[in-house]
Amino acid sequence: MTEGFAGMVQDYLVMGNAYVQEVRNRLSGVMRLDHCLAKYTRRGVVPGRFWWVPGYRNQSEFAPDTVHQLLASDINQEIYGLPEYLPALQSALQR
């Protein structure tokens, strides 16, 4: 398993989101997919727009339609995913 794929799986299991960015070659074909850390990747208001936000005042926008999001579905909202372990925390706190 490659390092990028392992990181993507880790992000999906822990955060409920995983992101990959298309890196294109000179002929506009997809050369590779790079893993973007879910901790710092934010979805924009406009569909297909994503931001890299590693700090409070440090942000940059990805090129439009180059980032793809894999999210665990959540019935309460459609922007970010919900990790599977999160609902179980309430049960753990009641003991």
Task: Please give the structure tokens belonging to residue 15.
Answer: 């955060």
- Total domains, the chain: 1
CA 59 to chain centre: 15
Q: 0.75 exceeded by the pTM? A: yes
pLDDT at 94: 75
pLDDT digits (tens, 9 = 90+) for 33-85: 999 999 999 999 899 999 999 988 899 999 999 999 998 887 777 777 777 77
Instruction: Compute the distance between CA of residue 69 and CA of residue 86 in angstroms, rounded to an integer.
Output: 20
Instruction: Compute the distance between CA of residue 48 and CA of residue 95 in angstroms, rounded to an integer.
Output: 43
Range of the domain at 30: 3-94
Q: Are 75 and 45 in contact (CB under 8 A)?
A: no
Q: How many other C-beta atoms are found inside a 10 Å radius of the C-beta of residue 37? A: 15
pLDDT at 27: 95
